[in-house]
Chains A and B, each alone.
Chain A
Amino acid sequence: MISIIGRRASFSGGVHPPQSKHLTADKQIQPGPAVKELAVFLSQHIGAAAQPIVKKGDAVQAGQKIGQCQGFICAPVHAPVAGKVKDIALRSHPVLGRSPAVVIEAESASEPVLPAFSMPQGFDPAKYTPEQTCEAVREAGIVGMGGAGFPTSVKIQPDAKVPKHTLIINGCECEPYITCDYRLMLEWTEQIIAGTRLAQRACGASNVFIAIEDNKPKAIEKMNATLEAMGLAGSITVVPVKTKYPQGGERQLIRAVLNKVVPTGGIPPAIGVVVDNVATAAAIADAVIYGRPLTHRVVTVTGEGIANPGNYYVPLGIAVEALIGHCGGISGQTAKVIMGGPMMGIAIADLSTPISKASGAVTVLTKEQVSAAGLDRRQTPCIRCGRCVQACPEHLNPTRIAHAVKNNLMDVAESYYISACIECGCCSYACPAKIDLTGYIRTGKILRARQKKKMPG
């Protein structure tokens, strides 16, 4: 089921960008800088924004809920530090533009303390009912920490119609440069496994896999050894998957690990599969066992434009510039600051942009890299070479969709299944003409959404 002998689990399509993980792969997770002010977004997830329940001038405790759920697909937010609510104001959000955030002035500017997780004596996931776990996960505001930010409680709760039979913990980290998940797998191994077992118990899955790209042999080894030591080697399987981008995309990962296909337009639970990131699993353990809300995360600060790249444990809401400053600042040759990695990350212009639950990295690229990528050159005509078609992990025809959008032919774009695009960026990466295919497709999706709103029914 997992893979044919001698063939590594993988999917068709995809690209092989340079890994560039050497910059931070061996850097242990360190506490981030001490900051005076945090801006905690009310919307750090897919779904409805949280409703603020504090007001300007209120004193807040560390871990206190400051934004509550409104709606089913939503997640609350919490204050990472004790302090005072300075304001509820708009801040630059990488995806949503200007978005409301609770600005907290910390009581004392002190470095965050790395959480000490120790497996409780006689830890048994059976002691926690699925309802209990889902409620704890929901209350802790846990969302997918791999980038998408989908509320985890919605994902892991049991579904009577389509029972969840398989849980895949995603430790692929296929995005170049980023190493936060890798470090977590090495340093917080037990916590990840505890979270995995709780998630398994909650969703009722009988098969559990931890998928790790085979460019991380140490993580695979550590995970296997820890499972062995915990006596879980039989119930949780570590699956080394081929190093290829976007191996960590959940649709691709399900194809690689289970050889199953998620229907176009559907989500993994539709076929009874749940995919959670390793950082999410760790957060689940924290929330269920210790009742700690999600207020901090590990962020990789990396790229050739950073003096001292590394992996840092930081409070949510810390500004990118504070992080960058902590890492020795950026070089004068910096051309791009990216929230996330270079393949799917979002370039930001405002360095006061706060870190949110789904941002695993800040990547700083220099002029040299942007120029090596040919991005400072003119786009040349499409020569219809089909490299984008071959690279597309969803088997679409990116150039046809992109050119349809360019010419405002939305029906043509739809006939080539624009909505099935996962925006992984493989087509743009592979294009010899340097056409911004993914950019056009994303634009097309936005246009399409607007059109639909205008014309109901």
Chain B
Amino acid sequence: MPQDYAVTFAPHIRRPLSTRRIMLDVIIGLAPALIAAGAFFRIRGLAVVAVCVAWCVATEWVCNRVRKKPNSVGDLSAIVTGIILGLSLPPALPLWAGAIGSVFAVGISKMVFGGLGANIFNPAMAGRLFMTASFGILMTTWTVPATLDATMPTVSPTNAIDARTQATPLAWSKTAIKDKTGAWIYYGRLPLRENLLGEKAGCLGETSIIALLIGGAYLLIRRTITIHIPLAVLTSAFAFAGIAYLLNSEMYVQPFYHLTSGALLFGAFFIATDPVTAPMTIRGQWIFGIIIGVFTMLVRIVGEYPEGVMYAVFLANGVRPLIDRFVKPVPVGGVPHAV
């Protein structure tokens, strides 16, 4: 009975978990936020996400062809990037702008570095940063949810002012600080129900706190992500906002509102936890999360812009290689003397 038996290194069994499955879990985790985006910003909102996904996948495919590499679309990571980028955009953004951002996200910030696993910056955040730099007005014009105004006009560079727009809660908070009007204007305008459900102006995926918590819980239960990064981001942001509030409660809004507005929750669960651009060790993840939380709040409270998650993630991504270099796991038996 001549037969070839495979000879490989141990172990000969593996955990039934693949990169593709991890990405699929992230997509499932994003589903509640997608549903909320559809509910509040209707087909127009979903169109933005769809365009981003399509262009992200297409870009990955083309890049692989050009580099003569095996097709890597099947690992679903381009779809994840597309959904996250789409959900981080304003609802009425012109679709062509989403396409340009997607091409940058996957083409420049991922494939140029060598594809999945080799990129330094989170592709979706790099794409969004590029778009913010390129289309400043479009990226900061928010329409009211369709549940409040069904017309939802498309915004273009020429009619940005005409569309029925609404400032985001964070913009109110910024105004309160800048104009010294006081934080009280914030509370009256945003009832708790609308705040948690997501019936407020903002980027597509960030408005519904409940949807994000459901998705985040799914990822935690599936162990796709661990609690360390979200916890570090949220607690450090909460602490920062809390200190500001304690110092001047007239001027700064309550820390709870900081957690429930803007992209903080979305970022903590879905962006900062991107394994490729986050540290590998638990201690490193705490440092990474605290950098994001603190810098987000620095921008929000001290800086010029109302929102800072994107900048904070970008900065932390840049610091990540240093964190991994200096926060090495220590062997159980201690560091050997002669290495």
Q: Which residues of chain A have a CB within 8 Å of any CB of chain B?
A: 12, 15, 17-18, 176, 251, 255, 261-266, 334-338, 340, 342-349, 351, 363, 365, 369-370, 372-375, 378, 380-386, 389-390, 392-397, 399, 414-417, 419-420, 423, 425, 428-434, 436, 438-439, 442
CA distance A340 to B15 in the complex (A): 19
Interface pair A176/B6, CB less than 8 Å apart? no
Interface pair A381/B18, CB less than 8 Å apart? no
Question: A263 with B11: in contact, given A381-B118, A416-B328, A432-B19 (CB under 8 Å)?
Answer: no
Question: A439 with B8: in contact, given A383-B276, A389-B329 (CB under 8 Å)?
Answer: yes
Would you give the shortest CB distance from A118 to chain B, in whole angstroms? Answer: 39
Interface pair B12/A255, CB less than 8 Å apart? no
* Residues of chain B lying within 8 A (CB to CB) of residue A415: 339
* Partner among B4, B8, B14, B115 whose Cβ is within 8 Å of the Cβ of A431: B14
* Partner among B4, B11, B280 whose Cβ is within 8 Å of the Cβ of A428: B11
* Partner among A264, A349, A375, A378 whose Cβ is within 8 Å of the Cβ of B333: A264
Chosen A-B contacts, 22 in total, with CB atoms closer than 8 Å, are: A18-B13, A251-B333, A264-B331, A265-B333, A337-B5, A347-B12, A349-B4, A375-B12, A380-B116, A381-B19, A384-B117, A384-B276, A385-B275, A386-B279, A386-B281, A397-B281, A399-B280, A423-B10, A425-B11, A428-B14, A429-B15, A434-B14
B16 interface residue per 8 A CB criterion:
yes
Question: A438 with B333: in contact, given A414-B339, A433-B19 (CB under 8 Å)?
Answer: no
Interface pair B5/A374, CB less than 8 Å apart? no
B133 interface residue per 8 A CB criterion:
no
Question: A393 with B332: in contact, given A348-B5, A349-B7, A428-B11 (CB under 8 Å)?
Answer: yes
Would you give the shortest CB distance from B76 to chain A, in whole angstroms? Answer: 11
B75 interface residue per 8 A CB criterion:
yes
Interface pair B115/A381, CB less than 8 Å apart? yes
Interface pair A395/B332, CB less than 8 Å apart? yes
Instruction: Known A-B contacts: A431-B14, A432-B21. Give 8 more (CB < 8 A).
Output: A251-B333, A337-B5, A349-B7, A380-B18, A383-B275, A389-B329, A432-B18, A433-B19
Interface pair B12/A345, CB less than 8 Å apart? yes
* Partner among A348, A375, A420 whose Cβ is within 8 Å of the Cβ of B14: A375
Interface pair B334/A264, CB less than 8 Å apart? yes
B336 interface residue per 8 A CB criterion:
yes
Interface pair B13/A429, CB less than 8 Å apart? yes
Interface pair A349/B332, CB less than 8 Å apart? no
* Residues of chain A lying within 8 A (CB to CB) of residue B6: 335-336, 347, 370, 375
* Partner among B5, B117, B328 whose Cβ is within 8 Å of the Cβ of A383: B117
Q: Which residues of chain B have a CB within 8 Å of any CB of chain A?
A: 3-19, 21-22, 70, 75, 115-118, 226, 275-276, 278-282, 328-337, 339
Question: A394 with B331: in contact, given A383-B276, A417-B339 (CB under 8 Å)?
Answer: yes
Interface pair A429/B11, CB less than 8 Å apart? yes
CA distance A177 to B41 in the complex (A): 54
Who on chain A is nearest to B23 by CB? A383
Who on chain B is nearest to A332 by CB? B3
Interface pair B11/A389, CB less than 8 Å apart? no
Question: A436 with B19: in contact, given A262-B333, A264-B334 (CB under 8 Å)?
Answer: no
Would you give the shortest CB distance from A10 to chain B, in whole angstroms? Answer: 13
* Residues of chain A lying within 8 A (CB to CB) of residue B336: 263-265, 417, 419-420
Tell which of A378, A385, A415, A433 has the most Cβ of chain B within 10 Å. A385
Interface pair A342/B329, CB less than 8 Å apart? no
* Residues of chain B lying within 8 A (CB to CB) of residue A393: 332
Interface pair B281/A425, CB less than 8 Å apart? no
Would you give the shortest CB distance from A329 to chain B, in whole angstroms? Answer: 9
CA distance A370 to B5 in the complex (A): 11
Who on chain B is nearest to A13 by CB? B332
* Residues of chain B lying within 8 A (CB to CB) of residue A414: 339
Who on chain B is nearest to A347 by CB? B7
CA distance A262 to B13 in the complex (A): 28
Interface pair A261/B332, CB less than 8 Å apart? yes
Question: A264 with B5: in contact, given A386-B281, A432-B19 (CB under 8 Å)?
Answer: no
By secondary structure, the A interface counts as loop
Who on chain A is nearest to B279 by CB? A386
Q: Which 6 A-B pairs have the closest CB atoms?
A: A439-B9, A264-B333, A425-B11, A381-B117, A386-B280, A385-B275
* Residues of chain A lying within 8 A (CB to CB) of residue B115: 381
* Residues of chain B lying within 8 A (CB to CB) of residue A17: 11, 13, 15
Interface pair A373/B12, CB less than 8 Å apart? yes
CA distance A82 to B50 in the complex (A): 78
Interface pair B280/A384, CB less than 8 Å apart? yes
CA distance A432 to B333 in the complex (A): 27
CA distance A430 to B276 in the complex (A): 17
Interface pair A438/B280, CB less than 8 Å apart? no
Interface pair A342/B19, CB less than 8 Å apart? no
Would you give the shortest CB distance from B79 to chain A, in whole angstroms? Answer: 15
* Residues of chain B lying within 8 A (CB to CB) of residue A345: 10, 12
CA distance A176 to B337 in the complex (A): 35
Who on chain B is nearest to A177 by CB? B13
Question: A370 with B19: in contact, given A396-B329, A419-B336, A420-B331 (CB under 8 Å)?
Answer: no
* Residues of chain A lying within 8 A (CB to CB) of residue B280: 384-386, 389, 397, 399
Would you give the shortest CB distance from B224 to chain A, in whole angstroms? Answer: 9
CA distance A429 to B10 in the complex (A): 9
* Partner among A342, A417, A433 whose Cβ is within 8 Å of the Cβ of B331: A417
Interface pair B18/A438, CB less than 8 Å apart? no
* Residues of chain B lying within 8 A (CB to CB) of residue A338: 10, 12
Question: A336 with B5: in contact, given A251-B333, A264-B336, A395-B332 (CB under 8 Å)?
Answer: yes
Tell which of B3, B8, B12 has the most Cβ of chain A within 10 Å. B12
Interface pair B18/A374, CB less than 8 Å apart? yes
CA distance A438 to B117 in the complex (A): 20
Who on chain A is nearest to B17 by CB? A432
Who on chain A is nearest to B330 by CB? A395
* Residues of chain A lying within 8 A (CB to CB) of residue B15: 15, 17, 429-432
CA distance A347 to B116 in the complex (A): 32
Would you give the shortest CB distance from B300 to chain A, in whole angstroms? Answer: 29
CA distance A18 to B11 in the complex (A): 13
CA distance A439 to B5 in the complex (A): 18
CA distance A245 to B163 in the complex (A): 61
Interface pair A386/B275, CB less than 8 Å apart? yes
Who on chain B is nearest to A266 by CB? B333
Who on chain A is nearest to B18 by CB? A432
Who on chain B is nearest to A255 by CB? B332
Who on chain B is nearest to A436 by CB? B9
Question: A425 with B339: in contact, given A383-B116, A396-B331, A416-B328 (CB under 8 Å)?
Answer: no
Interface pair B3/A344, CB less than 8 Å apart? no
Would you give the shortest CB distance from A263 to chain B, in whole angstroms? Answer: 5
* Residues of chain A lying within 8 A (CB to CB) of residue B281: 386, 389, 397
CA distance A60 to B333 in the complex (A): 47
Who on chain B is nearest to A443 by CB? B9
Interface pair B275/A384, CB less than 8 Å apart? yes
* Residues of chain B lying within 8 A (CB to CB) of residue A372: 16
Tell which of B7, B10, B280, B336 has the most Cβ of chain A within 10 Å. B10
Interface pair A346/B10, CB less than 8 Å apart? yes
Who on chain B is nearest to A16 by CB? B15
CA distance A297 to B18 in the complex (A): 39
